[in-house]
Amino acid sequence: MAVNNVVHVNECGLPLNAIEWLVKHHQSKLQERGQMIRDLRLEEGSFVVDAGCGPGLWTSLLAQEIGLGGNVLGIDISTEALVTAQRRSNHTWYRQQVQYKRATLEQLPIEPGAADMIFSANVSQYLSDPVATFAAMGPFLKSGGRLVIKDIDFGTMKFHGVDPFLQERVFQARLLWEAERVDHGYAYEDSWVGSKLAGYLQAAGYKNVEEKAYRIVRRSPLPRNFRFYLHGIAEWFICEGAPYLSPDDVTNWLQCFTDDTNNVLDQPDFESEETEFVVSGVWDAAKPCFYADMHTGISHREPLFITND
Ligand SMILES: C[S@@+](CC[C@H](N)C(=O)[O-])C[C@H]1O[C@@H](n2cnc3c(N)ncnc32)[C@H](O)[C@@H]1O
């Protein structure tokens, strides 16, 4: 999954071969993701921007909530992702309501004050200055419009049935890699971003910031898509974390997750647990927000709402 920080190729966690992984990841969490969108209580006829839409996996969920009178604009910096998204929406019932355009989060291709909601899933982890990006997105919202950011947090991930000390060392290695990857020419990444989002939105000038935490648990026997997703995550961790781990840890981790006959993912006591965060804030157009103040007062807080426990 790690790719070089080159803007004209599939950067930011989306090389071509990652599209299949993204699709299976999405399908494996469709139940929770559907709930996340329903919980937003979108009004029928809304105009929603899906910012960093990737292959357009959330489009049908959003379209369902806003109905035939609403519109979704998917934007992304990756042309390959947009082509896939367009292809996926052809021949669907919502195709007339959906458009895809190449753009960045900071410079949306819409008039200021046009969007009822800007939704962005699994993108904030790639933003090197999320507070500045969220502040730049605010003016594209209608007065009272909401920015909704959804993302992962590896700090919440646990695999029951795998040596907890080995897990801890592998996660620490990943954390070390994320701290150093930019110095090695790779794109910025923060896989621990989920629980920080509420602070970022507040610092960017949003009001009524609400955080919902969705706990996702899967037990043995794992659904096929979820097994594919976890297998990918486990390989991804070890590829990037290997330089910070002992050879024994690398071997043991690979044996756990890639072994044909004794794979931990197929053991009856295996359980995977993680929490994903959905944070929303209302853009306060009347309250100018000064960038110098944005980075102060960001702290980790307990979730304001917990669902799906
Ligand atoms: C991990 S994918 C998530 C795709 C989709 N939202 C999903 O959840 O399936 C991240 C996407 O964000 C896009 N992206 C990253 N930074 C961006 C930026 N600054 N502006 C627009 N798109 C961006 C990438 O090209 C990629 O398609």
Q: Which of 77, 82, 108 to mutate to test the pocket of ligand 1 (most atoms within 8 A of CB)?
A: 77
Q: Which residues contact 93 (CB under 8 A, 6 or more apart)?
A: none
Q: Is the pLDDT of residue 2 over 90?
A: no
CA–CA separation, 262 and 301 (whole Å): 40
CA–CA separation, 96 and 98 (whole Å): 6
The CATH number assigned to the domain holding 233 equals 3.40.50.150
- Protein residue with its CA nearest to atom 24 in ligand 1: 12
Question: Encoding tokens for residue 149?
Answer: 């950011």
Q: How far is CA 272 from CA 2, 136, 161, 267, in A?
A: 23, 36, 9, 12
Domain enclosing residue 64, as ranges: 18-307
Q: pLDDT for 289-305, tens place per residue?
A: 554 344 433 333 333 33
Domain presence at residue 5: no
Q: Which of 126, 152, 188 to mutate to test the pocket of ligand 1 (most atoms within 8 A of CB)?
A: 126
Kindly state the percentage of the chain with pLDDT values over 90: 77
Helix (H) or strand (E) holding 281: strand 271-283
CA–CA separation, 49 and 62 (whole Å): 10
What is the per-residue pLDDT for 19?
84
- Protein residue with its CA nearest to atom 14 in ligand 1: 52
138: CA distance to ligand 1 center in Å?
A: 18
Question: Encoding tokens for residue 109?
Answer: 């291709």
4 vs 147: which has the higher pLDDT: 147
What is the per-residue pLDDT for 240?
83
Domain presence at residue 46: yes
Number of structural domains the chain divides into: 1
Q: Is the pLDDT of residue 16 over 80?
A: no
Domain presence at residue 148: yes
Q: Is the pLDDT of residue 13 over 50?
A: no
Q: Is the pLDDT of residue 284 over 70?
A: yes
Domain presence at residue 13: no
Instruction: Please report the atom of ligand 1 found closest to the CA of residue 104.
Output: 20
Instruction: Please report the atom of ligand 1 found closest to the CA of residue 11.
Output: 25
- Protein residue with its CA nearest to atom 27 in ligand 1: 54
Question: Encoding tokens for residue 224?
Answer: 């096929």
| Cβ < 6 A, ligand 1 pocket | 12-14, 22, 26, 52-54, 57, 76-78, 81, 104-105, 121-123, 126
CA–CA separation, 124 and 150 (whole Å): 8
CA–CA separation, 145 and 271 (whole Å): 39
Domain presence at residue 256: yes
Domain presence at residue 4: no
Mean pLDDT, range 217-221, rounded to an integer: 96
209 vs 294: which has the higher pLDDT: 209
306: CA distance to ligand 1 center in Å?
A: 26
Domain presence at residue 184: yes
- Protein residue with its CA nearest to atom 4 in ligand 1: 54
1 vs 190: which has the higher pLDDT: 190
Domain presence at residue 174: yes
